[in-house]
Structures are given as structure tokens and as C-alpha cells.
């Protein structure tokens, strides 16, 4: 299923006059504050977030998965779903694949399909957390950190194959997330595991094409519950430094212990020019993978405030690879992703409204109260008309969720693809 700009324009009609009123009210306020409104809108319109192919299927947990039906069964259909999201939001202009789940059969056709939908192939993900059918070695006791040379070599080679697949699609970065770790004290030797991992990553890095980047993701626990080899940003940064200039740390919002000051991690990494990738989600307890902004929107804003500061002041840091890494659980996956994209744009817009110069002056004067006021004034501004304006400027939907429902996208997908789902086999 593909949505056309004409379809969206027709649906937008009914909300345009309300939008104009809301936008002008906000414009008036922002101009009085000296905000460069046009610049904010351009930045919002330019901001593109990759959708991971695994976010489009049936949702749930390891205890059970529940389908919304009409879910994509092939790589082509996954691209079509991201195409729908992009048409509506104009913010989902990239896709992040996972190998071996998304191996293309016809590369040219897949590239063409993505192209026609306005989608780029962003970072590609390897998978050494599951054993594959017919594999010579098991990852039960580790992959890139494995003590067994066979398993470690197999994991390295898998990553190199992933790079080759990505290269043929036009992707330019590899994300490595390792499940490697231990469940029990004494199970394995920490130092040996870390050294093996470093050596494996160095081998992968050495084989990357010159214009590729390596993103090293960290996570404190799960699926292992005693230790994870790449447990935190410090370990990831150390490994990235051991690889080279094109290796970076990847921050996934859910991969922190409760109450970690993620915005400070972001600031530190950007100062060092080592923040490469960013995975959005939300959580209450751990790696909950909840819809972005659904539980801690103020934390998201504070993180964006550091990202905006870094994008303005740290030319040593590369452009970031943004991706949503959330799970919809019991929602329609596409509706959930629309909500996540909206939450990202809202937090970004709020952060763009922070008067950085005034904040610096208040900090200098140790006016702590003023500092808080400046942040919260931006956070409490209803920026949705700006986000809408950015979307409209690209031909997207005024209200993506409303348009999605009005156009009965899910019903149409079920009609095209049927009710069969890989989640339950029903």
C-alpha cells in the first residue's frame, strides 16, 4: 500500500484553519522572544529517523506475542510499511535492517523500492545473539567475546557478511549489539572476555569500507543477568577508541540502569566526538522499549537539549544515526511508530527553543532559578504547530495518526496481506 500526497492533502483540508490559528498564536509569542522560527521549522523538516525492520511485526514479549494482522512478511513489505510512515510523517526517511532477518533476494529491486518511497538504508545490524539453522558453532557461551575460536570467528565473519549486504544496499554503517555476558559470578573471566571482544571488533573495523562507521552499542544487563561484556558507555567508548576514528559509541535510551543521567553521557560523548548512533525508546524499569516519550517526556527533552547543544558546538562529533528501537506490545505497530516519531519531533522542537545564550549567561551568573526557568519555559511550550508546519512543508499529514485512521491503513493492509501472522501462526 502506498499513500499519495494528494490523498493527504485532501485529508489535511479540514484541519488547516485550526492549524493556522494555532501556528500564528505561537509564532507571535516566539517572534517576540527573538526565536528564529523559520530555522527551527527547517531543522524539524530535515530531521529523519530510521525505522528498524523489526518494529513492524507482531508485538509482545517473550511470554506472548499478539498480532495486529496485515503485518509485513517480506523485506519489500517492510519497506512499504516504512514508506507509509514516511509519507504521513515525513520524518521516517530511513530504514535499519537486521541480518539475517532481512537478507534481500533481489538487491536492485529492493534498492529501487526504497528509492521510490524516499527511503535510505541507514545503519545495518548484525545478529550474534541467536544461533542460526545449520551454523557450525553456537553462541551459547558468547560470540565476539567467545573463548572458542570457532564461535568467535563465525561471529566476526557474520559481521563482515552483514557489511557486504549493507554495502550493496547503500548503507554506510554497522551497528553491533552483543548479548555476550554471564548469568553467574565466576562463569567467565571478565578481562579475557573484554580482550577477545576488543580483538574481534578490531578485526571487523579493519575490514570496513573506508566510508563506513562502526557503532558499538552497550547494555547493562539482559539477556545475561550477572554481567554484560559491553555493559556501559565507558566500555563502549574504550572499545571504539581501540578500533579507530570511525568507531563510535551508540546510546540506546533503554540501556541504562534506572535514573542514570543519560543527558550527561550524551554531553560527554559529543565533547569527545564519539557519539555515533542513537536509539530512541522509553522505559520505567529497564530495557522496556516503550513508545518514545510515553513515560518520561521531560527526560527526553533534557537529552535533546544536550544533543542540540552538541550539534551546534561540537563539530568534532559526526552527524548522528537516529533510530527508533521500541516495541509496541499491544498497539498497532504503525500507530505506535507514528506516536514515537511525533514525540521525537516535539522534544527536538522544544530543545531548539531553549535560548542557549541566555542559559549560558544565567549559568555564568549562578542564577540557578533562571536556568531552570529557561529550560522549563521551552519544555512547557506547545510546539505541535511547529511540528505540523514542518510536516506540511514536505507534503506530509497535518495529523498523521488521524490520517492513518481515516485512510483505514491497517484494514487495507489486512485486505492486501491477510490475517496470517508470524507471531502466533494463526
Q: Phi, psi at residue 311, to the nearest 5°?
A: -65, -30
| Residue 332 touches which member of Mn ion, ligand PSV, none, C-beta under 5-8 Å by kind | none
Q: E strands of 33-190, at which residues? A: 50-52, 59-61, 64-66, 94-96, 120-121, 124-125, 173-176, 181-182
Binding residue for Mn ion, selected from 78, 256, 279, 389, defined by CB under 5 A = 279
Measure the CA–CA gap between 1 and 404, rounded to whole angstroms: 12
Does position 78 interact with Mn ion (CB under 5 A)? The reply is no
| 125 forms part of the interface with ligand PSV (CB under 6 A) | yes
Q: Considering only residues 284-343, where is the footprint of ligand PSV by CB under 6 A?
A: 287, 325
Distance in Å, CB of 323 to ligand PSV, minimum: 8
**Distances in whole angstroms, Cα of residue 224 to Cα of each of 50, 167, 177, 302, 308:** 27, 32, 13, 30, 34
> What is the spatial distance between Cα 8 and Cα 189, in angstroms, rounded to a whole number?
58
User: Smallest distance, Å, CB 322 to ligand PSV?
Assistant: 13
> Min. distance of Cβ 309 from Mn ion in angstroms?
23
* Interface characters, 159-178, with ligand PSV (x: CB under 6 A): ------------------x-
219 binds ligand PSV (CB under 6 A): yes
| Interactions with ligand PSV, residue window 17-56 (CB under 6 A) | none
180 binds ligand PSV (CB under 6 A): no
Which residue, 163, 245, 234, 147, is CA-closest to 197? 147
Judged by CB under 5 A, which of 180, 287, 332, 335 binds Mn ion? Answer: 287
Which of ligand PSV, Mn ion, none does residue 335 bind to, with CB < 5 to 8 Å depending on kind? none
Does 252 bind Mn ion (CB under 5 A)? Our answer is yes
Beta carbon of residue 104, minimum distance to ligand PSV (angstroms, whole number): 18
Cα separation, 250 vs 252, in Å, equals 6
Q: Per DSSP, what are the bridge partners of residue 251? A: 278
Q: Is 282 in the site for Mn ion (CB under 5 A)?
A: no
Is 122 a residue that touches Mn ion (CB under 5 A)? no
Q: Which does 125 bind (CB under 5 to 8 A by kind): Mn ion, ligand PSV, none?
A: ligand PSV
Q: Which is nearer to ligand PSV, 71 or 252 (CB)?
A: 252
Number of residues that bind ligand PSV (CB under 6 A): 8
CA 98 centroid distance within chain: 13
Cα–Cα distance measured from residue 174 to residue 162, given in angstroms and rounded to the nearest whole number: 8
Cα–Cα dist 321/373, whole Å: 31
Neighbours of 77 (CB within 10 A): 17
Q: Could you tell me which of 345, 326, 213, 231 has the C-alpha nearest to residue 277? A: 213
Restricting to residues 224-253, name those near ligand PSV by CB under 6 A. Answer: 252
Query: How far is residue 315 CA from its own chain's centroid?
Result: 22
Are the beta carbons of 75 and 102 closer than 8 angstroms? yes
**CB under 5 A: which stretch of 111-119, 165-173, 203-211, 318-326 binds Mn ion?**
318-326
Would the CA dihedral through 293, 231, 234, 157 be positive or negative?
A: negative
CB under 5 to 8 A by kind: which of Mn ion, ligand PSV, none does 180 bind?
Answer: none
Tell me which stretch binds Mn ion (CB under 5 A): 64-72, 208-216, 271-279, 299-307: 271-279
Q: Footprint of Mn ion on this chain (CB under 5 A)?
A: 252, 279, 287, 325
Q: Footprint of ligand PSV on this chain (CB under 6 A)?
A: 125, 177, 217, 219, 252, 279, 287, 325
Amino acid at each position: 500500500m502506498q499513500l499519495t500526497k494528494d490523498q493527504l492533502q485532501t485529508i489535511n483540508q479540514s484541519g488547516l484553519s485550526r492549524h493556522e490559528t494555532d501556528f500564528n498564536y505561537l509564532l507571535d509569542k516566539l517572534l517576540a522572544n527573538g526565536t528564529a522560527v523559520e530555522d527551527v521549522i527547517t531543522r524539524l523538516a530535515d530531521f529523519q529517523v530510521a525505522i528498524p525492520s523489526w518494529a513492524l511485526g507482531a508485538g509482545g514479549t517473550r511470554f506472548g506475542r499478539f498480532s495486529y494482522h496485515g503485518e509485513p512478511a517480506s523485506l519489500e513489505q517492510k519497506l512499504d510499511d516504512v514508506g507509509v510512515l514516511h509519507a504521513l510523517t515525513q520524518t521516517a526517511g530511513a530504514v535499519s535492517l537486521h541480518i539475517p532477518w532481512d537478507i534481500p533476494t533481489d538487491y536492485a529491486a529492493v534498492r529501487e523500492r526504497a528509492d521510490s518511497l524516499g527511503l535510505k538504508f541507514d545503519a545495518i545490524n548484525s545478529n550474534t545473539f541467536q544461533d542460526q539453522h545449520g551454523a557450525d558453532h553456537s553462541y551459547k557461551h558468547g560470540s565476539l567475546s567467545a573463548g572458542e575460536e570457532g564461535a568467535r570467528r563465525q561471529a566476526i565473519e557474520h559481521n563482515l557478511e552483514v557489511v557486504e549486504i549493507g554495502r550493496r544496499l547503500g548503507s554506510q554503517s554497522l551497528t553491533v549489539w552483543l548479548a555476550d555476558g554471564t548469568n553467574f559470578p565466576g562463569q567467565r573471566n571478565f578481562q579475557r572476555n573484554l580482550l577477545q571482544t576488543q580483538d574481534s571488533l578490531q578485526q571487523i573495523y579493519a575490514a570496513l569500507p573506508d566510508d563506513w562507521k562502526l557503532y558499538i552499542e552497550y547494555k547493562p544487563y539482559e539477556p545475561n543477568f550477572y554481567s554484560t561484556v559491553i555493559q556501559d558507555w565507558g566500555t563502549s567508548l574504550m572499545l571504539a577508541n581501540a578500533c579507530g576514528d570511525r568507531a563510535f559509541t551508540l546510546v540506546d535510551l533503554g540501556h541504562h540502569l534506572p535514573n542514570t543521567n543519560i543527558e550527561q553521557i550524551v554531553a560527554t560523548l559529543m565533547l569527545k566526538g564519539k557519539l555515533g548512533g542513537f536509539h530512541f525508546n522509553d522505559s520505567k524499569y529497564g530495557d522496556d522499549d516503550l513508545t518514545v516519550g510515553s513515560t518520561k517526556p521531560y527526560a527526553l527533552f533534557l537529552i535533546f537539549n544536550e544533543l542540540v547543544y552538541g550539534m551546534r558546538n561540537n563539530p568534532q562529533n559526526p552527524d548522528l544515526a537516529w533510530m527508533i528501537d521500541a516495541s509496541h506490545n499491544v498497539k498497532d505497530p504503525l500507530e505506535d511508530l507514528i506516536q514515537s516519531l511525533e514525540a521525537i519531533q516535539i522534544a527536538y522542537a522544544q530543545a531548539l527553543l531553549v535560548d542557549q545564550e541566555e542559559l549560558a549567561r544565567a549559568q555564568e551568573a549562578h542564577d540557578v532559578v533562571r536556568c531552570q526557568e529557561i529550560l522549563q519555559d521551552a519544555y512547557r511550550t506547545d510546539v505541535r504547530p511547529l511540528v505540523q508546519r514542518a510536516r506540511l512543508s514536505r507534503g506530509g499529514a497535518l495529523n498523521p495518526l488521524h490520517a492513518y485512521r481515516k485512510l483505514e491503513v491497517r484494514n487495507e493492509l489486512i485486505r492486501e496481506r491477510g490475517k496470517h501472522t508470524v507471531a502466533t501462526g494463526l
